[in-house]
Amino acid sequence: MKLKTHKALAKRVKLTKTGKALKRKAGQDHFNSRETGKVRRNKRSDLLMTSSIRKAIAAAMPYSK
């Protein structure tokens, strides 16, 4: 039987070629005008997820390398 990919996680996480997981910073949709420029600038970059969560991501996304 084929293993299924967890689609919600697949939409939120990007795996790099070396196996690291990237995600977008939260809170970018609205109410950003009240944030400082520094906070708005930092929200544009992706976050590197910890290596401890990589095992859970590998289980939820079995066909990702």
Residue ranges of domains in the chain: 7-60
pLDDT per position as a tens digit, 15-61: 999 989 999 999 999 999 999 999 999 999 999 999 899 889 999 99
More confident residue, 65 or 24: 24
Q: Which helix (H) or strand (E) holds 56?
A: helix 54-60
Beta strands in 1-59 (DSSP E): 13-15, 21-24, 46-48
What's the pLDDT score for residue 7? 96
The reported pTM is: 0.76
Residue 65 has pLDDT above 80, yes or no: no
Q: Is the pLDDT of residue 9 over 90?
A: yes
Q: Which CATH class is domain 7-60?
A: few secondary structures
